Structure 1
Amino acid sequence: MSTISSHQNAIDVAIIGAGPAGAVAAALLRKAGRSVLVLERQHFPRFSIGESLLPQSMAYLEEAGMLQTLVEAGFQYKNGARFVWRDQSSSFDFRDKHTPGWGTTWQVERAQFDDLLIRCAAQQGAEVRFGHTVRAIETGSAPVLQVTDEDGRSYEVHARFVFDASGFGRVLPRLLNLEAPTGLPTRSALFSHVRDGLPLDATDRNKICIATHPQRRDVWFWMIPLAGGRSSVGCVADAAFLDVAESAREERLRTLIREEPTLNRLIGDAPFLMPVNHIGGYSANVERLHGPGYALLGNAGEFLDPVFSSGVTIALRSAHLAVKTLERQLSGETVDWHGDYDVPLRKGIDTFRAFVERWYTGELQDIIYYPQQTPGIRRMISAVLAGYAWDESNPYVADPVRRLDALHDACTVFGPAR
């Protein structure tokens, strides 16, 4: 995957970013016989958060020809999510859900996971250039990218179409001034990895643990068991709540972990395996997910919040949908990128948004911890939590705002715990 000749810069599709969306898009395009060039600013493997996948994404990894490689990597198996608050606990098994399809997936160290994906794409014939930065774009029916390598040499890439899969780098939204308000409050996260050293029966390692702070329901924690006795742990809150000096981050995260009973019992004193990191202002949106000669994939277009681990699923869904739309266009069909790509992709994003918003108001937490849950409704909620946010046979996808509000009203009639 080294730098290819600068004379080979006429390509069917140029992809900015080698993360999951870019890698899967590249593999799917290669399966369709298209020439692909992936431009990645960083070098892989590199650290990334977003370590808990959702089962819905497995279908796209399988279609992209990556599943065997990932199975053989030995990642931590995942079959659901466990929510805890004070003395309450509610677990969802993603195999028991309304929507047919995969009910299991993995919890992964993203450095290894992302590296495997882009290597799979390269093995299928995608050209990959690491350490190359896109500086400018000329949009249109034949877009042109201005690129600089690590030695400062500039060159042009001529493509029939461009996918921006740059994630939080958001290359085209910045270059083309596409940013739009998210409507979500500014939140941030402190996070690290720990050597948990837990006995086998201490917790269900097959599920992500999402814990709510006992006094503040808008503050929550993740604990993601990984392979080899390692766990990812983090806290998400209003940005001001976690705004401390870099030198104080470790103490702040440690104090918060000890304030949550379940995490304190499991990993309260477990040593951090890397410096405590901070990420903030990650929620993002754009006016549109496409333009003349380009489309935005995954986090380059919109990112909501990490609470339901939807980021990679939305990224892979966007890659799949964008490739299918582009294939029709490159085959000579007239396509409507707004109707064929933007609108259907945002349907699932809006489903997740309804769940995220009600998580932070506490309404979804009332639903999750409600003691007399109806099995059928529970399977519908489980399907969304498993990533099936586009299945409109599920009432909580077809009309998530009204359905969740009505469900919350029904739960609170009987006085949910506060």
Structure 2
Amino acid sequence: MRRYDVVVVGGRVAGASSAMLLARAGLSVALLDRGRRGSDTLSTHALMRGGALQLARWGVLEGLVAAGTPAVRRTVFRYADGEVTDVAIGPRAGVDALYAPRRHLLDRLLVEAAEEAGAHVLHETTVTSLRRGRTGRVAGVVARTRAGARVELAAGLTIGADGLRSRVAEQVGARALRQGRTSSAVLYRYVEDPWGDGYEWAYGDAAGSGLIPTNDGASCLFVATTPGRMRRLRRLGVERAFADLLGETGPAAVERAHDLGTVSPVRGWGGVPGFVRESGGPGWALVGDAGYFKDPITSHGITDALRDAELLAEQVLAAHAGAVAEQVALARYEGTRERLSRQLFEVTERVAAYDWDAPGIRSLLLQFSAAMGDEVEHLESLGRLDVAG
């Protein structure tokens, strides 16, 4: 049985970033993911300022740019009362644009960076249970490969980065600290949009839509509303539902999408209310959607995952170096995550209610922008992660 300082369960954005940062700092790390290497996943794609800043600092952003991910240099907001706001993306902290990469590209680059740092990566390997020490402390994982081979890994710390329905969170009994009540149901497809250079959001009658430029000359076009309304509309057919909701967000959104050829069929997401779980305990921690999830309507999920990976890594390294006790380190991680995410979570809850008018949604988006500013200031202050001693 192999032993590691840290085993990370889940090799998407949060897990791969955590593994990379810890391995770069000298810890022995194993990273497990049940999916195939380079596989895609459901995503809003859009990186906000904080996420782009981190990827640039880690040396990963240059790989996204080299792969042809288009630079996003403006954000357009359209409202039901006809107001349009066009915001230029200016340079800050060495980042002069935002990006919205396909997940098979972003996740692969982060996994490769973790491997280059020395992490042992196992794809198509599903964790079936957690190992326990004599006192009940989590002490690693038991997993099974796609071929059926049993894998047992011992670890000083097990990090669950395994998504909404986290097996790690379930097995440690992680408590919900906050439970959301609202959620978005989403329909999306990829469309040909080779000249897309900005995020475009539209807000109408109990519906929202967006156009997000991503790789290969395509954009992700989505519509969103409440789950109940989506179920009613889908009875008329998915294409009709998509067209009706896009129309509800205004004629400008319809006109913008009119001549964009389709690249993929319509896909859907039924919606899950947001939540915040306790972030750690004896021998375990949670990061990404496993510990904190909010509705995708504000397109902040990837940035959340990158942020929390660095917040957690910072505290894990402090505990590993003996600067603080593990319990104190995990409490600090949870406290910082709470401080930076509470307003983002609360505003997203209100946006996902779809009960606003044009002045109301403008006010909510301004509140969200202010909270993102606080987040960026904190991320700018983070220094290089090191293990002392």
Q: How does 1:140-289 map to 2 (within 5 A)?
A: 141=137, 143-178=139-174, 180=176, 182-196=179-193, 200=195, 205-213=196-204, 215-216=205-206, 219-243=207-231, 248-259=237-248, 260-268=250-258, 270-289=260-279
- In the alignment, which of 347, 353, 358 is matched to residue 345 of structure 2? 353
260-269 or 291-300, which deviates more: 260-269
Q: CA offsets per residue over residues 79-101 of structure 1, 9 Å max, x none?
A: 342211232211333438xx867
- Cα deviation 1:22-75 (Å, max 9, x = unaligned): 121111111111111110000132222121101211332234332332232221
- Partner Cα separation in structure 2 for residue 35 and residue 20 of structure 1: 19
Aligned CA distance change for structure 1 residues 284 and 353 (closer, same or farther; 3 Å):
closer
Rounded to whole Å, the distance in 1 between the matches of 2:140 and 2:368 is 44
Amino acid at match of 1:125: G
The aligned amino acid for 2:299 is S
1:397 matched residue in structure 2 = none
Name the amino acid aligned to 1:255. D
SS at match of 1:116: helix
Q: Given that residues 90 and 369 in structure 1 are in contact (C-alpha distance below 8 angstroms), is that contact kept between their aligned partners in structure 2?
A: no
Q: CA deviation at 1:142?
A: 5.5
Runs of 5+ unmatched residues, structure 2 = 379-389
Q: Could you tell me which residue of structure 2 aligns to residue 60 of structure 1?
A: 54
Where 1:307 maps in the other structure, the secondary structure is helix
Aligned partner of residue 263 in structure 2, secondary structure: coil
**Counterpart of 1:168 in structure 2: which amino acid?**
L
Provide the residue aligned with 2:324 in structure 1. 334
The 5 A counterparts of 1:295-306 are 295-306=285-296
How far did 1:298 drift?
A: 1.3
Task: Report the Cα offset of residue 18 of structure 1.
Answer: 1.0
Map of 1:107 onto structure 2: 100
The answer to whether the 8 A contact 1:250-1:276 is kept is: yes
Question: TM-score scaled by structure 2?
Answer: 0.84
Deviations 1:355-393 (A, max 9, x none): 3244346669526758xxxxxx97x864545x643648x
| Secondary structure of the corresponding residue to residue 191 of structure 1 | strand
> Is 2:79–2:203's contact at 8 Å kept on the other side of the alignment?
yes
TM-score, structure 1 length as denominator?
0.79
Residue 309 of structure 1: aligned partner: 299
In structure 2, the CA distance between the partners of 1:381 and 1:129, relative to structure 1 (3 Å rule), is closer
Separation (CA, whole Å) in 2 of partners of 1:248 and 1:176 = 42
Partner Cα distance (1:300, 1:142) in 2:
17
SS in 1 for 2:289: helix
Match for 2:71 among 70, 73, 77?
77
Letter in 1 for 2:70: Q
Give the deviation of 1:257 after TM superposition: 2.2
Alpha-carbon separation, structure 1, partners of 2:221 and 2:107? 20
Structure 2 Cα separation of the partners of residues 80 and 304 of structure 1: 24
CA distance in 2, matches of 1:355, 1:113: 27
Residues 165, 115 of structure 1: CA spacing in aligned structure 2 closer, same or farther, 3 A cutoff?
Answer: same
Alpha-carbon deviations, 1:204-249, whole Å to 9, x = none? x332111112x32xx2111112244311011121111112669932
2:28 maps to 35
Q: After superposition, give the CA deviation of every residue in 1:114-170 in whole Å (9 maximum; x if it has no partner).
A: 112211221222111110001111355561211011112222110011111122342
- Give the distance between the partners of 1:185 and 1:178, measured in 2 at CA: 22
SS in 2 for 1:78: coil
Which whole-Å CA distance do the structure 1 matches of 2:59 and 2:282 have between them? 30
Which residue does 2:84 correspond to in 1?
Answer: 89
Are the structure 2 counterparts of residues 190 and 340 from structure 1 closer, same or farther at C-alpha, using a change threshold of 3 Å? same
Residue 109 of structure 2 aligns to a residue whose secondary structure is helix
Task: Quickly say closer, same or farther: Cα 1:364–1:10, change in 2 above 3 A.
Answer: farther
**Match of 1:408?**
none
1:389 matched to 2:385? The reply is no
Shift of 1:351: 1.9
Measured in 1, the distance between the counterparts of 2:90 and 2:167 equals 37
The CA RMSD over aligned residues, in Å, is 2.8
Please say if residues 20 and 312 of structure 1, whose CA atoms lie closer than 8 Å, have aligned partners that are also in contact.
yes
CA distance in 2, matches of 1:57, 1:112: 15
